[in-house]
Amino acid sequence: MDPLGRYLLAKNPQADSAWVIAIGSDHVVGEVQTKWTADLPAVAPDGALALLGAKDVYLADGETLKITKTIAGGAKDFWYFFAWDGFRPRAQGVDQPVSFGDSTAVSSTTSSTPAQPANDSSAAIPDTAPPPAAAPVSAGYIVSFAAVLDQARAAQTAAQITVNGATARVQPAVHGATTVYRVVLGPFATRDEADRVGKSSGRQYWIYEAGP
């Protein structure tokens, strides 16, 4: 099943193929040729279908089932799809150059105070090191139970999910020209906490990091 709830791939027991079922519209899109392994076939984050051939991997459009790209020799690799949301912001202190005092400068002013020996451990050393970099602050973790194209259906599903007194909510997300309605709980401070909530719901769930 697609982690975002768009498609369900059902294995044909009599052939190396799969039936593609669109969950949001509740209809069978069609049948595609693919071998079955632990990692393929699968649905990529952009909705493309990753299909396994004898030696190559093929990417097909989820609605038309047309092959859009061929990865030559991809069958020998292990495939794992994930969504990447870019680099985290860097703390300003990370890019500040380290500054050291001018150790060659000699004062021309005489002083009556005797100079301290070079090995005097009480000599003051200026602190010129930059401040420590601030660790990126996570926005938390979201527990997702479903992603459908029908808002009313999403609301009905959300009303049936309550964990620790909190009822799931519907979170719309726009993908191109399509709006997907996610049924979610959270965010939660840690992934472990989100995982506990997902297990307590008694339903199938996915966890993803909340946006900033």
**26, 43, 76 — which closes off a domain?**
76
pLDDT at 70: 94
pLDDT digit string (tens) for 120-145? 544 555 555 566 655 555 689 999 99
Report the pLDDT averaged over residues 94-113. Answer: 55
The letter for the amino acid at 98 is: V
Decide which of 21, 55, 76 is a domain's last residue. 76
Number of domains in the chain: 2
Tell me, yes or no, whether 119 lies in a domain: no
Residue 106 in any domain: the answer is: no
Nearest to 90 by CA among 138, 140, 134: 134
**DSSP helix/strand/coil, 110:** coil
What is the rounded average pLDDT of the residues 100-110?
Answer: 52
- Higher-pLDDT residue of 106, 6: 6
Can you give the residue range of the structural domain that contains 24?
7-76
Output the six-digit token pair for 103: 């150790």
Rounded to whole angstroms, what are the CA distances from 52 to 48, 73, 196?
13, 10, 35
- Tell me whether residue 40 is in a domain: yes
34 domain-assigned: yes
Backbone angles phi, psi at 77, to 5 degrees: -95, 160
Structural domain includes residue 130: no
Nearest C-alpha neighbor of 19 from the set 53, 68, 65 = 65
Three-state DSSP at 109 gives: coil
**Residue 152 located in a structural domain:** yes
pLDDT tens digits along 187-202: 999 999 999 999 999 9
Look at residue 113 and tell me if it is in a domain.
no
pLDDT of residue 106: 47
Task: Mark which of 49, 76, 103 sits at the end of a domain.
Answer: 76
Q: Give the list of residues 6+ apart from residue 174 with CB closer than 8 angstroms, or none.
A: 180
Give domain status of residue 169, yes or no: yes
- CA dist., res. 41 & res. 22, Å (int): 15
CB contact at 8 A, 53 and 41: no
Of 174, 165, 168, which Cα lies nearest the Cα of 143?
A: 168
Contact present, 131 and 177 (Cβ < 8 Å): no
